[in-house]
Homo-oligomer: A and B are copies of this chain.
Amino acid sequence: MTALIAQRMQDCLDACLTCMRACETCAAACLAESEIDMLRECIRLDRDCADVCALTAQLMMRGSDLYAHAARLCAEACARCAQECAQHVQHDHCLVCAEACRACEAACRAVAA
């Protein structure tokens, strides 16, 4: 493995853990918002994204050969969650989550390439 690839995997692993946390935080906060009715999709996608980030991070920690395939799934989960979260501009937790998802999507695509 070249130094460039190792660095990309390290960056991706960190991005997955940051994104997992932002998604869990966002889902928990959405469940407590008064306008929960408008946040259903956000809660749903947050959860999928958090779970996919968790697995992707764990596979990368162990140096699994599946890392590129997992990164592809993770990029998809992040893209969907970012798109939804970015619409809820009145909620900081959604905006923080959207940003973490976009950073993680980019890191995953760099690894999957």
Nearest CB of B to A48, in Å: 5
CB neighbours of A28 from chain B (8 A): 44, 62-63
Q: Does B62 lie within 8 Å of A73, measured CB to CB? A: no
CB neighbours of A72 from chain B (8 A): 69, 72-73
List residues of A (49-106) whose CB comes within 8 Å of B's CBs: 50-52, 54-55, 58-59, 61-66, 69-70, 72-73, 76-77, 80
A108 at the binding interface (Cβ < 8 Å): no
Number of interface residues of A (CB under 8 A): 36
Select A66's contact among B31, B54, B58, B77, beta carbons within 8 Å.
Answer: B77
| In the complex, residue of chain B having the shortest beta-carbon distance to the beta carbon of A67 | B48
CB neighbours of A63 from chain B (8 A): 28
A21 at the binding interface (Cβ < 8 Å): yes
Q: In the bound complex, what is the Cα–Cα distance between A64 and B80 (angstroms)?
A: 12
CB neighbours of A76 from chain B (8 A): 66, 69
CB neighbours of A55 from chain B (8 A): 51-52, 55
